[in-house]
Structure 1
Amino acid sequence: MRSFLKSIIYCALIFSSIHSQAQLVSDMDDESKLYAETKQVNQFFRRFNGEEDEKGDRYYPKDRQYRDPKLRQKYISILFDSQNRGIKSELKQEFISSVTEKTTAQTLDFHGGNWFSEVHTTFSYEGKDVPVVLFMKLESESQGYKWGIFKVYAEVFRDYIKKDTSRHDKFLHPLSHELDFMNLRKALGENKSNVSQFTANDYKPDYLTLFLYEIKKGNLKFKTIQNVKFHFFQLNGWYFELSEFNRPGYNTGWLMSNLVKVANKDKDLLEKYIYYEDK
């Protein structure tokens, strides 16, 4: 009898162990889905906002869990690049609390502006491969939206459009108009290296115009894209960078790779840095 009871207890323990392991595996499967499926930028938006479940099924405004604060906290905490030690855990927590708490809650709007892409490309120019950075933003067009290039940075063009900030010892005399600006012949014909000294004080170099000109002339030819990332200024008081990570494990896909608490007055400085305008 004792032997029989012992067998029953043993079987029960085995069943309990198997059930527990199965539950653990099931939980891990759900977690792996939660981590592994942020494969699209659109999905990053939905996860950040709490607009889908761990299987990728959508939540809508009528659903109880739509933009639920606890759900959002769960999602946002795993939308960071966990291998980036530069983003302190305290800053992450402050950010998560700031965008999910009822009184300060903020969500991302795909068509809301204040976010843009940075596309690193390779072009062929004068027989050499050169890097070119394209900055693109989403904007309305007729019945829909489109991506448009609004800035370019190319080191190869830097010397061509760099404004001469040295002391201006070459200039057009204020009475040049009385000579029908005939001194332009010398200013523009003989002083090619100093030609930017003759521009107005508020002149700003424009890489995009030169970029388009060289493509139209056939001198600049597209070869490939190296990588893409996105910059977000959409959340009041914060800036974050979104990058794609293709690696083994759960922490992969589109993840926040940088996070900065930034005041509105400092946004211009940060944007200038991103656009390489501080060089």
Structure 2
Amino acid sequence: MIKKVFVFIVIATLCTGYASAQIVSDDYQIEQQLLASTKQLNQFFKRFNGEETNRGDELEPGDRRYRNARLRKRYLNILFDEEHAQISKNVKNKFIDVATNAQNAQFLSLRSKDWFAVVNTTFEYEGREQPLTLYMEIQKEGLGYEWVISDISFGAYDQLFDKQRGETKEFLHPMSHELDFMNLRKALVQNGSPESYTLADYKPDYLTLFLYEVKKGMLKFKTVENLKYHFFSLDGWYFSLNNYNRSGLNSGWLISDLAEITNTQKDQLLKLIYGKN
């Protein structure tokens, strides 16, 4: 009987020890995941610049590891989305080499004008919820900096200002001055497309209209759905950041798109992102 009790105690002790070890192991894995994940955008900047280790330790300028090219290459390698991004190894390596070049190393700055945010939101408009995109830039204000809305994209406005073109376009007769422009009634009262009577290069100011309707309560903010950051900070390169909220070490703010571009391609890409094509 005593022998059986002894064996039971030994087995129970071993099981308890295994369970404790398993808990410690799980905690360690979770800790490593949290440390490796680039949870905040500020962390991405610091790790890209070699100002923070992949364990979350901030480096001071006097530290020999601070902005060290060899360490930066290691940190930069873990700042890419490895699950969905279609970035070739050659392009990725070339980008890292450019950023960490000993003769002309390039870094990111939160205060730079060469990056911006695209924020996809939901607003209530005309009795229903509708998607609306805000373009956000950072600008200097007084002694500090602030985020501001630089532009918007809204499908309802696109439909509202869908200016007619070609032969179907409504117009005021070139002799309208002889009628004292009384035919403006047709243009501005009876016709449903007053924008047709504007200059050929007329472009509606969506941002002003947006602010007006927000102030009047006609547009009501509901929530932010998602956001993406676009960077043109490195000469000749474009990349974007997405936030991947998932398990594993490859999570947080990561590079999702990367391309080497010319100045012409940059202009075209900006028009595409802002929906100005």
In 1, Cα distance between equivalents of 2:211 and 2:93:
44
1:235-259 residue CA offsets vs partner (Å, 9 max, x unmatched): 1111111111110000011001111
Flag structure 1 segments of 5+ consecutive residues without an equivalent.
1-24
Alpha-carbon contact 2:240-2:256 (below 8 Å) kept? yes
- For residues 209-242 of structure 1, the C-alpha deviation after alignment (integer angstroms, 9 at most, x for no partner) is 2222222222211111111111111111111111
Mapped contact 2:242–2:255 kept (Cα < 8 A): yes
Paired residue for 1:76? 76
Shifted more, 267-276 versus 52-61: the winner is 52-61
CA distance in 1, matches of 2:109, 2:270: 20
Match of 2:192? 192
Alpha-carbon spacing, 1:169–1:56, altered in 2? closer, same or farther (3 Å):
closer
Q: How does 1:3-14 map to 2 (within 5 A)?
A: none
CA RMSD, Structure 1 to Structure 2 (Å): 2.4
Task: Identify the residue that residue 41 of structure 1 maps to in structure 2.
Answer: 41
* Offset at residue 74 of structure 1 (A): 0.6
> Is the contact between residue 123 and residue 223 of structure 1 (CA under 8 Å) also seen in structure 2?
yes
Cα separation, 2, equivalents of 1:28 and 1:150: 42
SS in 1 for 2:166: coil
- Residue 132 of structure 1 deviates from its aligned partner by 0.7
Q: Name the stretch that deviates more: 203-212 or 123-132.
A: 203-212
How far apart, CA to CA, are the structure 2 residues paired with 1:32 and 1:111? 29
TM-score (norm 2): 0.82
CA-CA distance at 1:127 after TM superposition: 1.8
Contact 2:164 2:170 in 1 (8 A): no
CA contact 1:229–1:242 (8 Å) conserved in 2: yes
Matches of 1:265 and 1:82 in 2, distance apart?
29
Deviates more, 1:203-212 or 1:217-226: 203-212
Task: Name the residue aligned to 1:10.
Answer: none
Aligned to 2:239: 240
For the residues of structure 2 that align with 1:103 and 1:31, how far apart are their CA atoms? 34
1:164 is aligned to 2:164: yes
Other-structure match for 1:105: 105
Tell me the amino acid that sits aligned with residue 158 of structure 1. D
Q: 1:158 deviation in Å? A: 1.5
**Percent of paired sites with the same residue:** 49
**Alpha-carbon deviation of 1:182?**
3.9
Instruction: Give the whole-Å Cα distance in 1 for the aligned partners of 2:192 and 2:29.
Output: 67
The CA distance in 1 between the partners of 2:167 and 2:76, in whole Å, is 52
Contact conserved, 1:124 with 1:223, CA < 8 A, in 2? yes
For these two proteins, the number of residue pairs brought into alignment is 251
Conserved? CA contact 1:168–1:197, under 8 Å: no
Secondary structure of 1:136's partner? Answer: strand
Aligned to 2:18: none
CA contact (8 A) 1:231 1:240 kept: yes
Find out whether 1:222 has 2:213 as its counterpart: no
Task: Give the 3 Å change call, closer, same or farther, for CA 160–119 of structure 1 in structure 2.
Answer: same
Is 1:143 matched with 2:154? no
- Farther off after superposition, 73-82 or 125-134: 125-134
Contact kept in structure 2, 1:116 and 1:138, CA below 8 Å: yes
- What TM-score, normalized by structure 1, do the two folds share? 0.81
Q: Which residue of 1 aligns with 2:121?
A: 121
How far apart, CA to CA, are the structure 2 residues paired with 1:100 and 1:28?
30
Counterpart of 2:7? none
SS at match of 2:254: strand
- In structure 2, the residue matched to 1:20 is none
Return the alpha-carbon distance in structure 1 between the equivalents of residues 114 and 180 of structure 2.
Answer: 46
Q: Which amino acid aligns with 2:139?
A: E
Distance change (3 Å), C-alpha of 1:164 and 1:52: same
